[in-house]
Structure 1
Amino acid sequence: MLLAIDAGNTNLVFALVDHERQIRARWRIATDPRRTADQYAVWLHQLLELEGFTRDDVDAVIIGTVVPRALHNLQVLSSKYFHREALVAGQGSAAWPIRLDVDEPENVGADRALNVIAAHAKYPGDLVVIDFGTATTLEVVDYSGAYKGGIIAPGINLSLDALVGAAAKLPRIAIEAPESRSVIGRTTNSQMLSGIYWGYVAMIEGLLARVKAEIGRPVTVVATGGLAVLFNRHTDAFDALEPDLTIQGLALLHQQVTQKA
């Protein structure tokens, strides 16, 4: 099986993917570039056993990362404990198989490119991929699979952190879908939730309307990231939810590389 590793700014996701690209298990850990290969190995060994797997079940490793400092220890993890040289998404034999039709293609984050690869493989036509992560990103993909550009906005947790950090009397609240569709809060907490939640819904709906008008053709909107389900409760902006899109992109990229070999 393939061990796919998605190293994001906030979390690292490890997933076991079988040869039919089905995810058999997944685990999440906070991103810390100081974490060593040995620490990863102890943690992963226990989780593999809990799911009924061993290290011997892993016959390939691929890493996608937007945290350069985390890459070395993940590569050591692969070579030392799984005895495999890890593919690195976007590098070497795992170079991007899509056209990055933007002014600075070298600066496109691995997670964004992987989302484009996976979404284009699953959905025909023009696409917008929304990823609710540390940042909220929108990727525009044309019918040929080329990445045409996108939008980067602060993630909802970053926005909440900034609000609470700058206003001494405002409490930290949980981000959740409001029970009511009313945007008028009656308490400080409900007013904050309204501003954060409905503010993000309005931002997404507004940006999508502008992007669709600019594209001028029918567009499929694919949402991913942990908070996509939360927002989907109160908007019809998304045509599809794909919570594991980045992992799917890693698995597809690995498959394409091995088929070329």
Structure 2
Amino acid sequence: MILVLDAGNTNIVLGIFKNDKLIVECRIGTDAKRTADEYGIQVLKLFSYNKINPSDIQGVIISSVVPNIMYSIEHMIRKYFNLKPVVVGPGVKTGINIKYDNPKFVGADRVVNAVAAHEIYKKPLVIIDFGTATTFCAVTKKGDYLGGTICPGIKISADALFEKAAKLPRIELVKPKHIICRNTVSSMQAGIVFGYIGQVDYIVSKMKEEMIEQGSEEPFVVATGGLAKLIAKDSKTIDEVNPFLTLKGLKVIYEKNKE
């Protein structure tokens, strides 16, 4: 079995693969104040709940966009699993040719998503990841990572509205039935959700234009992340939601580097 960890600003997502099948997926909160032992206890509890024996884990791979938790996470893996993890970063084989001005500055999660989508779809791609930030990435059919766009995430946008406007409440992120709303909560929900759908469709349309101008076929658009389904239902540009894209990418990268 292989343990994969994707450490984001809000959550650390853990997956366990048995051969090529994802058999466990779970989340714990990201907290820079936690020690390796605190993370270890949490992870072992999740293993126990899912009836997984830690000694069955043969390898571990980590991607992270939160540098200040990496010592605790890596130390936890060494102490509780007696394994040296693969950490996605410079020097790790991905099979992706990064065309960024400085490849070191591409977030590990964006690279991992690109690896997974390229492996799965074998076509030009726009990849959208709805995380704490929302990222849009362009990848060619042959696996060139062209770059992309980064936007504030949906929850960040909603929280900013609540925190900066004194009379506006904190809201649940759901799609209202109408865009002409008759109460404050529904009006905020409409603005956030429908506004974000419009933002996504505009950015994707412009990215498609640029890729086609550069000689690409029309790209396939895949979305992942916690709120991908909410936006994809009304988006005119998202072709597919793949909720486990990042975990699958980590497994692919692990296989390329396990030697």
Deviations 1:56-110 (A, max 9, x none): 1111111100111111111111111101001101244x34431110112110000
The Cα shift of 1:209 comes to 1.2
C-alpha contact 2:94 2:256 (8 A) present in aligned 1: no
Task: State whether structure 2 residue 206 is matched by structure 1 residue 210.
Answer: yes
Task: State whether structure 2 residue 233 is matched by structure 1 residue 237.
Answer: no
Worse overlay, 138-147 or 25-34:
25-34
What secondary structure is seen at the aligned counterpart in 2 of 1:72? helix
Distance 2:227 2:110 in 1: 16
Distance 1:112 1:131 in 2: 8
What secondary structure is seen at the aligned counterpart in 2 of 1:246? helix
Among 105, 108, 130, which residue is 1:107 paired with? 105
Among 186, 189, 192, which residue is 1:193 paired with? 189
TM-score w.r.t. length of structure 2: 0.95
Map 1:83-94 onto structure 2 (within 5 A): 83-92=82-91, 94=92
Worse overlay, 115-124 or 236-245:
236-245
Task: State whether structure 2 residue 175 is matched by structure 1 residue 177.
Answer: yes
C-alpha contact 1:3 1:61 (8 A) present in aligned 2: yes
Partner residue, 2:41 = 42
C-alpha contact 2:175 2:190 (8 A) present in aligned 1: no
Distance 2:47 2:8 in 1: 21
Map 1:9-158 onto structure 2 (within 5 A): 9-20=9-20, 22-92=21-91, 94-158=92-156
Distance 2:232 2:13 in 1: 22
Partner residue, 2:248 = 248
Deviations 1:21-50 (A, max 9, x none): x11112211111221111112112122111
* Structure 1 stretches of 4+ moved >4 Å: none
Deviations 1:195-216 (A, max 9, x none): 0000000001111111111111
C-alpha contact 2:65 2:107 (8 A) present in aligned 1: yes
Query: CA 1:78 to 1:91, structure 2 compared with 1: closer, same or farther past 3 Å?
Result: farther
Query: What 5-or-longer segments of structure 1 have no aligned partner?
Result: none
Query: CA 1:95 to 1:133, structure 2 compared with 1: closer, same or farther past 3 Å?
Result: same
What secondary structure is seen at the aligned counterpart in 2 of 1:255? helix
Query: What 5-or-longer segments of structure 2 have no aligned partner?
Result: none
Aligned partner of 1:87: which letter? V
What secondary structure is seen at the aligned counterpart in 2 of 1:160? helix
C-alpha contact 1:177 1:233 (8 A) present in aligned 2: no
Distance 1:233 1:102 in 2: 31
Distance 2:33 2:250 in 1: 24
